[in-house]
Amino acid sequence: MKIVVASGKGGTGKTMVSVNLAWAVSQSQETHLIDCDAEEPNVHLFYPGGKDEGPVTVKVPEVDSEKCTLCGACGEFCRYGAISVLTESVMFQAHLCHSCGGCMLSCPVDAITEVPRRIGMITRGEPTPTLTVISGILDEGEIAAPAVIKAAKEAGEWDGVSVLDGPPGTACPVIETMEGADVCILVTESTPSGLADLRRAARLTEAFGIPAGVVINRSDNEDSSTLAFCAEEGLPVLLTIPFDREIAAIQNRGAILCSEKEEWIEAFTQLYEDTVAIAGGIL
């Protein structure tokens, strides 16, 4: 069971929902919590102590200048302009490369091999005997977040329950996170931008064919537009969390709501049960 927590808009409370959901699930069964917001991973702030599991690398071409005849085939093939054949040398620009391997395949004299290039790292921790926390962390200055997300997902792959804390937006990092998910929890807040981004995120889960439900966070009881949208789209509202300075303070200092305030355990346990129901097409 892979549960992705996503939102479209940033800062709506994805990480808060993810860490509490994983906390609640892990009370009764083994759980994996995977931080897929590789650009700004925050789960490890709530569950510190993860150990370095090694680097994440991508494959990039290396040209053997002894063999290279400067024929230009690799540069003509590369659609991203990452490799260019110039007067006396072949120039490679790593930030343009998608690691497709096409330059190597198109070289007629086998002058190109692929070498690994580090772009980030994976950490793994076991804060409790039933909870494993895996984070994908993109190196500062690198751009290929999806490759790090993919590696984090692979590191956390298993048959049990995984909660994936997703990145904001609806572009490549979110696509990589949602790939293969069984169900998606969309966290929103009842503002026009929260709603606009919820709509975008809902369109994405629809494109993937992933069943989804909604958590309304920081509610001030003015949720009518969000509720109307959810009703229209057939998205069940699974949980409403009120705006509350105390909840904000707990979150701000990196603590877990469920372990600080017992009344939330039931809410997040119920959230898990309802999410499983959605995944099974019941809700």
Tell me: does residue 219 bind another protein (CB under 8 A).
no
Select 232 or 282, whichever has its Cβ closest to another protein. Answer: 232
CB of 43 to another protein, least distance (A): 9
Tell me: does residue 9 bind another protein (CB under 8 A).
yes
Interactions with another protein, residue window 101-160 (CB under 8 A): 101-102, 105-106, 138, 140-145
CB of 151 to another protein, least distance (A): 14
CB of 37 to another protein, least distance (A): 8
| Given 99, 123, 188, 226, the residue binding another protein (CB under 8 A) | 99
CB of 88 to another protein, least distance (A): 9
| Given 1, 57, 68, 98, the residue binding another protein (CB under 8 A) | 98
CB of 231 to another protein, least distance (A): 19
DSSP letter string, the chain: -EEEEE-SSTTSSHHHHHHHHHHHHTTTS-EEEEE---SS--HHHHS--PEEEEEEEEEEEEE-TTT-----HHHHH-TT--EEE-SS-EEE-GGG-----HHHHH-TT--EEEEEEEEEEEEEEEEETTEEEEEEEEPTT---HHHHHHHHHHHT--SSEEEEEPPSSSSHHHHHHHTT-SEEEEEEESSHHHHHHHHHHHHHHHHHT--EEEEEEEE-S--HHHHHHHHHHT--EEEEEE--HHHHHHHHTT--HHHH-THHHHHHHHHHHHHHHHHTT--
Tell me: does residue 172 bind another protein (CB under 8 A).
yes
Interactions with another protein, residue window 229-268 (CB under 8 A): 245, 248-249, 251-254
Tell me: does residue 80 bind another protein (CB under 8 A).
yes
